[in-house]
Structure 1
Amino acid sequence: MISPCSSLETPILPRTLASQAPVIPTSILPPHLPNLAFPPSPSTLRAPVPPPPPLPPPPPATGVAPPHVFGLEKSHLLKEALEKACPVPRSREDVRRLLKLHKDRFRSDLQWILFCADLPSLIQEGPQCGLVALWMAGTLLAPPSGTPLQRLVQIAMERGYTAQGEMFSVADMGRLAQEALGCQAELLCGGLGSPNRDRVLQHLVAGHPLLIPYDEDFNHEPCQRKGHKAHWAVSTGVLLGVQGVPSPGYAEDPELSGLFHPMPDMPCQPPSLPEEDLPGAVYLLCKQGKSWHCQLWDYDQVRDSNMQLTDFSPSRATDGREYVVPAGGVRAGLCGQALLLRPRDPSH
């Protein structure tokens, strides 16, 4: 059984501003003016000056990474193009790369089963990691077009959940997800360990996204900074270490022996979940708004980081900006909490 959690339908707790600096609205850049060609002054003593030769065609597009576009002050056309892009099937490739690069981190006495869903990438700008994570999760909840990021930002500001895109309340994030994405949102309290661990893993095995607040280290992985580096990630998969892979329904990876994937369009028996006292047997496949790639994070590392979010960052408290923080601070809004998201039941 899961520890009882606060309902997302409860009245919204009062929120405070962490700074009294005024919120300056983002300016909208004026559209580019057309280039006007001014003809030369007429002269009766000289022949007309011929027009300049046409400009050469632009160079062909190369395979460089797309621009980091985010925020209302950027180009709306580029932003919308990124938001409407289809998910790129990169999760398995990222996992293969990580397993090859850091093979010593993964137990050799286990076989591994990967459950994952692919997500598009969107690089955040400013303290908007939570809304970027929610937008990425939304592509699984309301495909194919999803909900525009601009709409998430707008609703969050209108409801008083944020001043500039920051989200310091998992409960507010759940309310936003329900309203903007039309999905089911379950607020998980009491941390990612027992008794919630199996529920979280079953949720991910079923292919549903999980939003997790944690402290971000320099390499984006979870760390413990008492909430001073509070950040958001979305998990859309899990790598399970098992003693034996159930059969049938799973296929071994063509590049890595010992790594198995559920076979599409074929029913498969869910594997037995690793015991909680078996370290290094569960890794969350996560993505956050500062990297194009997925990462594999040890489940216990994520659990511990999520459980120690208690304090508001001193650097944020003195940066002259306003932040919306719920009553009770970071401890009440983020500590030991996560958000389970799934599509709304069409029968309801």
Structure 2
Amino acid sequence: MAGTLLVPPSGIPLERLVQMAMERGYTAQGEMFSVADMGRLAQEALGCQAELLCGGLGGPNRDHVLRHLVTGHPLLIPYDEDFNHEPCQRRGCKAHWAVSAGVLLGVQHVPGLSYAEDPDLPGLFHPAPGMPHQPPSLPEEGSPGAVYLLSKQGKSWHYQLWDYDQVRDSNLQLTDFSPTRAADGREYVVPAGGVRAGLCGQALLLRPQDSSPKPAAALNQGTGPQPQPGSVTV
């Protein structure tokens, strides 16, 4: 999923990715409990740059993550998946991966003329193609409902808008290996230190080897109704 968002997009089949991961000892059943291993796999298989982020998605890492998404590059995030694929907190027992492909920012003013208003959703602005873009001002951490990640989980057919703080909190509490998996008699590759050491507070920022800025932020001006998941083009 992340490979299709890189430039040039990766055409490597999923089966080949799993085979490579198994050959290198990263996985036994297709599971991936190490962000570091996922980064190594991405670099080799997709030919991209992979930056391992530690310390969670908040604090000083927050602006770094948002600016990465604004440039148009994908973010891989381990998190606990709820029944509707959205982030929840199950201490890692429902740990899955998601890819974020863009960001929706709630702002008071649209920065310059390089953003075009969506024809169907008043108050929603996209970067205008072919124009230089002034990066938008990032809302301060703790602003309610100000930042949403355009994200997708592999079992879902659609992208969804996830509140940034919910993603941050879900990613930061991945500590335990699922008792169901521990009791199913199958072999899994879990790094030294367990799920906490392999996933907790970590994410992966992917960039093309020869990356160039490509803004991908959608701006929602004012405090009107939020767009529904799947309705935003980024």
Equivalent residue, structure 2, for 1:239: 104
In 2, Cα distance between equivalents of 1:269 and 1:142: 22
Give, in angstroms, the shift of residue 141 of structure 1: 2.1
Q: 1:267 aligns with which of 132, 135, 156?
A: 132
Give the AA of the match of 2:80: D
Q: Which runs of 4+ in 1 moved over 6 A?
A: none
Aligned residue for 2:2, secondary structure, equals: helix
8 Å CA contact retained: 1:142, 1:181: no
Q: 2:162 aligns with which of 276, 297, 307?
A: 297
Give the AA of the match of 2:88: C
Equivalent residue, structure 1, for 2:193: 328
Question: Which is richer in strand?
Answer: 2
8 Å CA contact retained: 2:92, 2:173: yes
User: In the alignment, does 2:177 pair up with 1:177?
Assistant: no
In 1, Cα distance between equivalents of 2:137 and 2:11: 33
Equivalent residue, structure 2, for 1:150: 15
Give, in angstroms, the shift of residue 146 of structure 1: 2.1
8 Å CA contact retained: 2:56, 2:201: yes
Aligned-pair identity in percent equals 86
What runs of 5+ residues in structure 2 fail to find an aligned partner? 212-234
Give, in angstroms, the shift of residue 320 of structure 1: 1.5
Larger radius of gyration: 1
Aligned residue for 2:43, secondary structure, equals: helix
- Compute the TM-score of the two structures, normalised by the length of structure 1: 0.60
In 1, Cα distance between equivalents of 2:122 and 2:177: 45
Q: 1:202 aligns with which of 42, 62, 67?
A: 67
Aligned residue for 1:157, secondary structure, equals: helix
User: In the alignment, does 2:109 pair up with 1:258?
Assistant: no
In structure 2, the CA distance between the partners of 1:202 and 1:324, relative to structure 1 (3 Å rule), is: same
8 Å CA contact retained: 1:177, 1:183: yes
Equivalent residue, structure 1, for 2:214: none
Give, in angstroms, the shift of residue 277 of structure 1: 2.4
1:154-169 mapped onto 2 (5 Å cutoff): 154-169=19-34
8 Å CA contact retained: 2:10, 2:46: no
Give the AA of the match of 1:208: H
Q: 1:340 aligns with which of 191, 202, 205?
A: 205
In 1, Cα distance between equivalents of 2:190 and 2:145: 35
Give, in angstroms, the shift of residue 142 of structure 1: 4.9
Equivalent residue, structure 1, for 2:218: none
Give, in angstroms, the shift of residue 236 of structure 1: 0.5
Aligned residue for 1:332, secondary structure, equals: helix
What runs of 5+ residues in structure 1 fail to find an aligned partner? 1-135
Give the AA of the match of 1:266: M
8 Å CA contact retained: 1:250, 1:263: yes
8 Å CA contact retained: 1:161, 1:167: yes
In 2, Cα distance between equivalents of 1:144 and 1:230: 26
Give the AA of the match of 2:84: N
* C-alpha distance after superposition, 1:44-64 (max 9, x if no partner): xxxxxxxxxxxxxxxxxxxxx
Aligned residues: 211
In 1, Cα distance between equivalents of 2:73 and 2:40: 18
- Compute the TM-score of the two structures, normalised by the length of structure 2: 0.88
* C-alpha distance after superposition, 1:225-281 (max 9, x if no partner): 000000100000000000100111011111111111110111121110000021210
Which structure is richer in relative contact order (CA contacts within 8 A, separation 6 or more)?
2
Give, in angstroms, the shift of residue 143 of structure 1: 3.2
Equivalent residue, structure 1, for 2:88: 223
* C-alpha distance after superposition, 1:189-231 (max 9, x if no partner): 0000011000000000000000000000111100000000001
8 Å CA contact retained: 1:212, 1:338: yes
Give, in angstroms, the shift of residue 144 of structure 1: 4.5
8 Å CA contact retained: 2:78, 2:96: yes
